[in-house]
Structure formats: C-alpha cells, structure tokens
Structure 1
Amino acid sequence: MSTGAITTAAQRLLTAMDQRKPCPPVRDLIGPTDVTAAYAVQQLLTQDRMERGAVVVGRKIGLTNPAVQQQLGVDRPDFGVLFADMDYTGTPIPRTALLQPKVEAEIAFVLGEDLAGGLSAETVRRAVTGSHAAIEVVDSRIADWDISYADTVADNASAGLYVLGDRLPTGVDTSSVTMTMTVNGETASIGCGTDCLGGPLKALLWLAETARDLGEPLRAGHIILSGALGPMVAVHPGDHVEARIVLSDEPIGTAVVDFAAEPR
C-alpha cells in the first residue's frame, strides 16, 4: 500500500471531522481488508489529534459481539484510541459533538499496571484495578455507516464518546453478567458477557496482546472499553439511555447518558 494512499485516506477522514460532514468510505484508497494500511491511517489520525493537544487515556475494543459484527458485515475485532475529551460521564452530549451516533453497553476496565510483557488470562486479570458499567457512543465519519473492516479501523474503530457508570463489585466474573439497555425507558438491546469475544477479560487479553505486538502496549491508568455486550442502537437528540448490568438476577451497576434535545 502506497504512503500516498494512506495519507489521502487520513485526510479524507480528517476533513470529515473538521467540516462535520460524513465522507465516502476510504476502502477505494486502501482496500476493504488491508489491516496494516487501515491501522496506518488510524495512526495518522491519532498523531493529528495529539498535535492539536488531545491526551490519550486508553483504548476501545470494537466488533467483539457477533450481533454487531453481523450489523456491520465484519468478522473480527478491532481497536481504537480513547482521548480525554471523549469522556462525557455525567454530562449531556450535545448534538454538535457527533455525526451519526449509536450506543453500546459495555464493561470498562481500569488498568493498574502495564501489560507489556508475557501475557495470560491471569496477568490481565491482575492488572485490572476496577471495572465499570459503561456506555460507548460510537460514531462514524463514513456516510451512512457504509463501512468495511478497513473503513472502521481507519476511522479509529468508529470511536465517538464514552460514559463510565457504577463501579462493579471487586472480582466480579464479567463473563457471567447479563445486560439490558433501554432508550427512553424502552428495551433497545440485550446481551451477556460471553457475547463479548467470550468474555470482557478475554477481549482485554486480545487487545493487550495485539497492542504489545504492535509496539504500543497498554499502560497503567488506561481505561479500556472492552466491547459491546449486545447490539448497538441508533440514538437521537433528547434520548435518555441506561445500561444495566446484572449478575445472578442481582443488579450490580448502571451507566446512564443523556443526549441534549435540539434547541427550539
């Protein structure tokens, strides 16, 4: 893949962000399945954001749920970068912050140590100092969500914003939880821990290994959104979203986000 094609793809996405207008897919430039080229585009976008003052606070794992993979026509997970200004915990989200928002209920992990060396399920489990109910607000700079795997990877794994909810009990088995997400009080998505790549900690292990192998390991203090527990759902101005995490019929945590209504 030529450097020119990668640079042109990155510029297309940057223009969409700056002008707040979705753009055509970038697969005409980098192909629909070229993982290396897609992450090279993502890296250029990350570099641009950091040069503008953005601060990296973690990563997000995407496409872990079979239902979401089916929704988007892909067959493997991906990852993107979280920045500090993506955190809207406790703050209504203005319409101008997003282009084509959808929501996913997730488990978020906070790391207490680096995940840079030999990795196993146990080392990953020990590295987690806290877990939270969370809502990821995914967004696509690609018009009409017309994305291939390479399109979403290049577009920072369709990252938008996120909200952290209640801290979950220490040592909770996140693979055994169930989830119900409501929009304006109506059930919009249901799922369970095993729908997230077999379990959220398994998804975290996949990310830790992938990031380490790419030379950009996960670090202490990082927030990790581990992937959707159920299908993603489109949202609109004025919507109120709640994601409830349950274990053995007992509620253990909730995340809430409001989308500001359109001004009259």
Structure 2
Amino acid sequence: MPLSQDEIDSLATRLYDAYDEKEPIPPLSDDTEITTEEAYQIQFEVFDRLSAGGREEVVGHKLGLVSEAKQEQLGIPEPIFGYVAHETVLENEPVVVDEMISPRIEAEIGFVLDEDLEPPVSTMDILAATRAVVPVVEILESRFQGWSIPSAQDVIADLTSAGKVIVGEQHRDVTDLDLKMEGVAVSVNGEVEATGLGADIMGNPARPVAWLADRLDDVDDHLREGELVMSGGITAAIDMEPGDLYSIEFTNLGTMEVRAE
C-alpha cells in the first residue's frame, strides 16, 4: 500500500532529526515498506529541510551503488543518486569526526559540466559536455545505527549517505585522461588501505553520469552547466578516526590529503 503524504513527512522528520541531533536511528525499513519512488520523496524532503534554500542550494549530484555487486547486495537494478549541497563542501579544512555520527572516507572521480543536458544522454554526450574532470573525496555518513543498511531504499532516503565533500584543485581536460584506467590509492597514516580503478565504475565513470542525466527526468530535474557530478566511489569506504591522516593519490588527478580531528 502506498505511503500517504503524512507518512512520508513523518519518515523525513525522523531522518532530519537524526541528522540535526547526530543521533542515529534504526533503518526506516525495519517497520515500514518503502518503494524506490517513496524513498526519493523522503530524501528530497530531508534535503529541503537541511538546506536553507532547498534545492536552490545544490552544487551538484552524487551517485551511489555504481557496481553490480552492490546493486545485487541491496536488491536494486540501478544506481542511486542524491544532491550535493553547498554547505557540505569543505574548503581546506580538517574533518571533525565528533561533529558527525560515523564518517567514512572514499575516493571518486567528479565531472564539472559545461552545458545543460536533457535526455536522452549517452556516455559520449557526457564526455563532450564535460568542462573538467576533478578528483573528489567524499566523507560518507549514515543516520542509521551502526551503518545498518538493509535496503537500497534506506540509503536513498538517507540522502544517499551524504556527509561532506572535498574537491581537489587539479582540473583536467577529459580528453587528456583514460578514465577507465584512472587509478587511485587511499592511504591511512602512510599505509595503503584501499585502491580502485575508473573501470570499476560501470566500465567507465562517465557511464553512470549519463544514466543520471536520463534518470533525473523522472523527478522533473536535469543536469545543469557548472554542476559537479560525483560518479560514485572507486574505493571501499574507510572508517575515519581522529588524528589520522588520509592520502588520496590518483594516477593523473593529483594527490589530496585529508586530516581527521
């Protein structure tokens, strides 16, 4: 049975309160059956409450579950997406772990668009419309207790596990890179903990961005000039601990360092 608007509002309030008070809650699916469409409705309501200007504060989009293995694990046949709010972008500052519930760090490849895109959109269209490719570090966050994520719908509703975003200074022309072969290694205090390759992202990081450009039409949205699109985690997410130094070294997109306090 579809959720009523009151039920969607109530679930959005639970997630908003967890975000605002930094107090994790049980997954929504523990006691409520939620469709993918309803999960996005909840997400959009939570985002609008958290951002003063609602979706006017969007600086881009983020993708998740961009591997078939993760999709199969959570029982959904496609990636998932969310918004990147201006207030979540960090500028040359450490990640304060105590200000979050349970942050995790991962590396991504970002696309800065040079034009608006309306569906249908192909991978080649994304490459042609990309102003620059940038290195991105995402600090994931879950509002659920112990990172318990029993369904894709829980992740979607929970802002697609959005936390903080750090964009590297290196901007490269897409024609200068072999995105499939762009590698990255994440080290913690000098020890490599996670590695990945652009080809791990649906064969090419531009491919999920093209999927997103088409999928956004279902929610009356589209990709816009100047937006940042994060193509999904290349590496496994690593728990962050105060005092640790994280080095994120890309093959051609430079090296970023993030300190946790």
Q: How do residues 54-93 of structure 1 correspond to structure 2 at under 5 angstroms? A: 55-65=57-67, 73=74, 75=76, 76-93=78-95
Q: Give the Å deviation of 1:52.
A: 6.2
Instruction: Give the equivalent residue in structure 2 for 1:101.
Output: 103
2:179 counterpart of 1:177: no
Q: Could you tell me the TM-score, scaled by structure 2's length?
A: 0.90
Q: How do residues 38-57 of structure 1 correspond to structure 2 at under 5 angstroms? A: 38-51=39-52, 55-57=57-59
Q: Give the Å deviation of 1:158.
A: 0.4
In structure 1, the residue corresponding to 2:66 is in which secondary structure?
coil
Alpha-carbon separation, structure 1, partners of 2:65 and 2:119: 25
2:167 counterpart of 1:164: yes
2:167 counterpart of 1:194: no
| Closer, same or farther: CA 180–67 of 1 in aligned 2, 3 Å | farther
Q: Give the Å deviation of 1:159.
A: 0.5
2:113 counterpart of 1:111: yes
Instruction: Give the equivalent residue in structure 1 for 2:249.
Output: 244
Kept in 2: contact 1:89–1:257 (CA 8 A): no
Instruction: Give the equivalent residue in structure 2 for 1:131.
Output: 133
In structure 2, the residue corresponding to 1:190 is in which secondary structure?
strand
Q: How do residues 201-220 of structure 1 correspond to structure 2 at under 5 angstroms? A: 201-220=206-225
Alpha-carbon separation, structure 2, partners of 1:213 and 1:83: 21
Find 1:152's aligned residue among 145, 150, 155: 155
Query: Would you say how many aligned residue pairs link Structure 1 and Structure 2?
Result: 254
Gaps of 5+ in 1: none
Find 1:142's aligned residue among 141, 144, 150: 144
The alignment yields a C-alpha RMSD, in angstroms, of 2.0
Q: Give the Å deviation of 1:95.
A: 2.4
Q: How do residues 226-245 of structure 1 correspond to structure 2 at under 5 angstroms? A: 226-245=231-250
Alpha-carbon separation, structure 1, partners of 2:31 and 2:116: 35
Q: Give the Å deviation of 1:105.
A: 0.7
Q: Percent identity between the aligned chains?
A: 30
Alpha-carbon separation, structure 2, partners of 1:123 and 1:193: 18
In structure 2, the residue corresponding to 1:163 is in which secondary structure?
strand
Kept in 1: contact 2:59–2:84 (CA 8 A): yes
In structure 2, the residue corresponding to 1:79 is in which secondary structure?
strand
Following superposition, which runs of at least 4 residues in structure 1 exceed 6 angstroms of deviation? none
Q: Give the Å deviation of 1:213.
A: 3.0
Q: Could you tell me the TM-score, scaled by structure 1's length?
A: 0.89
